[in-house]
Amino acid sequence: MLLSVDHVTTYRYDRPVRGVVQSHRLVPSAFDGQKLRDWSVTVSDGVQGGAFRDGAGDRVQGWTVRGPVSEITVRVAGTVETVDLAGVLRGHRESVPAEVYLCDTLATQADAALAALAEQARDEAGDLAQAHRLSALVSDAIAYVPGATHARTTAAEALAQGQGVCQDHTQALIACARHLGLPARYVSGYLFASGEGAPEAAHAWAEIFVGGLGWIGFDASNRCCPDDRYIRLGSGFDAVDAAPIRGTARGGGAESLDVAVAVRQVQQ
């Protein structure tokens, strides 16, 4: 598929800020499932900072905006050619050993309930079967209800509530996988949804490391593995660690945020 992305994030400050610093992971990963046609990231009045590829294979780019400024816009636009690899992250260069992703974070810690959920998959034969089962279990346990959770909701809280969005599904799935000793991580990206897909376009899913195959994506929100409708940006231990944009403003007042994401299929 050829997918085009138009992703605009606008930050507004009720009083001008002295400066803004951001760290971006906004360039699609390089692997066999996707190829960049064209891609650009711009920040209004922004100065490019250091750029590098980190050990997880993500392209990281720093940005700063000199103040005073009361509004900044981050615009991501481009087209990506995707192919369906049934969720397998093939041809991705990274140096962080998978085992690193066994470590817990606050948002992905398995409480008794998550552990009990994970235990239901323990008897499946092999990592791959376990991972599929875990993903299904999480889909069943947490209903997709936008607005039921917030950015800081932990996996344990989401499960207790029984409702959540892709972030909650992903963090719950990660917690369960790590509980069974499977390395797991949070992936942020975009999803082309052919129906009324707008709220889903900025998406997240989990990757679980399966012996012999490597990293495989699992989207518990959509009960599938990522295919050619998905664009992968970057990964981390949890939602905060994998955030496409991490930033902060110096001085000034409260921040409000507007995000508009459109992913379209381009006719070839």
Which of 15, 122, 150, 250 is close enough to bind another protein by CB under 8 A? 250
**Residue 16 contacts another protein per CB under 8 A:** no
Is 17 or 201 the residue whose CB approaches another protein more closely? 17
Which of 75, 223, 246, 264 is close enough to bind another protein by CB under 8 A? 246
Which of 8, 36, 77, 102 is close enough to bind another protein by CB under 8 A? 102
**Residue 60 contacts another protein per CB under 8 A:** yes
Of the candidates 194, 188, 186, 213, which has an alpha carbon nearest to the alpha carbon of residue 88? 213
Dist. CA 126–CA 131, nearest whole Å: 9
**Residue 67 contacts another protein per CB under 8 A:** no
Min dist. Cβ of residue 21 to another protein (A) = 4
Dist. CA 200–CA 148, nearest whole Å: 15
Determine the 3-state secondary structure of 248 from DSSP: strand
Instruction: Please say whether the beta carbons of 107 and 238 come within 8 A.
Output: yes
| Site mask for another protein (CB under 8 A), range 103-122, x = bound | x-------------------
Q: How far is CA 128 from CA 155, 198, 213, 235, in A?
A: 22, 31, 9, 20
**CB under 8 Å to 178, separation ≥6 — which residues?**
101, 102, 103, 104, 108, 110, 184
**Residue 150 contacts another protein per CB under 8 A:** no
Min dist. Cβ of residue 47 to another protein (A) = 4
**Residue 237 contacts another protein per CB under 8 A:** yes
Q: How far is CA 240 from CA 154, 159, 218, in A?
A: 11, 19, 19
Instruction: Give the footprint of another protein on this chain (CB under 8 A).
Output: 19, 21-23, 47-56, 60-62, 64, 66, 95-97, 99-100, 102-103, 237, 240, 246-248, 250
